[in-house]
Chains A and B, each alone.
Chain A
């Protein structure tokens, strides 16, 4: 459960937001520059909340008035970044295994699980390729695996299908939905493509400026 009531800093301005996300996939629709990514960054703990309160799974993680701020590494969030942000010095499978290793799993076991999940997302063939050699679509699939693999409490997806070609989009979308439903977590998907959100999400929030 994500509960955000307050103001989010979006570059030089801030805007108010009130959103509650249960075990569902909420789409956040809005034009470029409207601050959708800033909302995700605030929930992830990469930007502090301007004012108000943010709760994840019933725990307050950001409340400026109470001088409370929980660091991102303690929030147990899975996130797909808009530019994927795969580590360039690692292979695809090592990138995907990273969250598991951060949760204390041994490297061999983490890589095995990561390889299985890469296969589900159709990128097992590039598992041993270094991240910079992946195509946009392959890189995005690895980023999706990386966000879902560590059993996070909440999943944030920033334009998660933008680099995936039309033919594979539906299958990747179904995989994402299946995993999110199985995890039973709160998920927020940000996109400027309304049709994409309609296909993937259970509810849409309009976030135009």
Chain B
């Protein structure tokens, strides 16, 4: 006989079932609209290939940029006590809660060619234009991806027992050696999860990218932007590309299954 605590009320089961249907229906709808016979042709179309190439390149660069900036940030948030720590954490989380288009507008204010705080300076001194360029895509994607990486790394760093770093120090390991030989291996699960999440977020970025870098085919048009554009002109291509992005997302979930969706239980 089931105990009271292990019995699940019927209304909870129905609610959960509705939740599953709500999440699964769009995926099924998408798969139903994919023209399987022309899938390969659609995915090798010039516009699609350009979008995929830009997406892949920009998302990897954005993830690297997020790592370069995010790891020191996560370290300070996890291990240092300083005034303004709560402010810095709120700042890190901001791109997560900000509407992406607003993020794009904010990026224009900072890095815009004519009126941007830094963008104007970069343009007048070095002739560097970040808006409507591949660099613009990378910056927009890094901006929205950074919080995911920082949160994952901060959690990982907090969970590492400092005794390992202490024992390494006593054995003669310098700061950098301790980090490379001890901290990094201990941080690996959080680092991998954070990188995958950040990359996925960068790959799927839409609002900030279109606002800051535009939607120029072959230059700044990423896969999500191409899907949006093709929905009007080439729906078959849009569904084919969407299918590919879903497949990538599923692949990512499989990669992270042990961490978040419970691989065995």
Contacts and interface: CB of A to CB of B under 8 A. Distances in A.
B174 A73 contact: yes
Interface in B155-200: 163-164, 166-174, 177, 181-182, 185-186, 188
A85 B171 contact: no
A30 to B, nearest CB: 22
A88 B163 CA distance: 12
Contacts of B182: 87
**A interface: dominant SS:** loop
Given A87-B182, A89-B186, A102-B177, A71 B163 contact: no
B166 to A, nearest CB: 5
Nearest to A84: B167
Contacts, number: 55
Contacts of B177: 102
A160 interface: no
Contacts of B186: 88-89
B172 A85 contact: no
Interface string A69-89: 001110111110101010111
Given A89-B186, A102-B177, A150 B172 contact: yes
A126 to B, nearest CB: 19
Contacts of A85: 163-164, 166-167
B170 A45 contact: yes
A78 B170 CA distance: 7
Given A89-B186, A102-B177, A146 B171 contact: yes
A73 B173 contact: yes
A176 B170 CA distance: 19
Nearest to A46: B166
A99 B172 CA distance: 7
* Chain B interface, >50% SS class: helix
A75 B172 CA distance: 8
Interface in A68-116: 71-73, 75-79, 81, 83, 85, 87-89, 98-99, 102-103
A74 to B, nearest CB: 8
B163 A45 contact: no
B201 to A, nearest CB: 28
Contact of B168 (A83, A98, A103, A150): A98
Contacts of A78: 170-171
Nearest to A87: B164
A180 interface: no
Contact of B171 (A46, A71, A88, A102): A102
Contact of A102 (B163, B164, B172, B188): B172
Contacts of A73: 169-174
Interface in B85-128: none
Interface string A55-76: 0000000000000000111011
A139 B169 CA distance: 19
Contacts of B168: 87, 98, 102
Given A81-B163, A87-B164, A44 B185 contact: no
Given A85-B163, A85-B164, A46 B172 contact: no
Given A81-B163, A83-B163, A102-B177, A89 B169 contact: no
A125 B71 CA distance: 39
Contacts of A46: 166, 169-170
Contacts of B174: 73
B178 to A, nearest CB: 8
Contacts of B185: 87, 89
A83 B167 CA distance: 11
Enumerate the 4 nearest inter-chain pairs by beta-carbon distance, A residue then B residue, closest first: A102-B172, A85-B167, A72-B169, A99-B171
Interface of B: 163-164, 166-174, 177, 181-182, 185-186, 188
5 contacts: A75-B170, A85-B166, A87-B185, A88-B164, A98-B173
Interface of A: 44-46, 71-73, 75-79, 81, 83, 85, 87-89, 98-99, 102-103, 146, 150
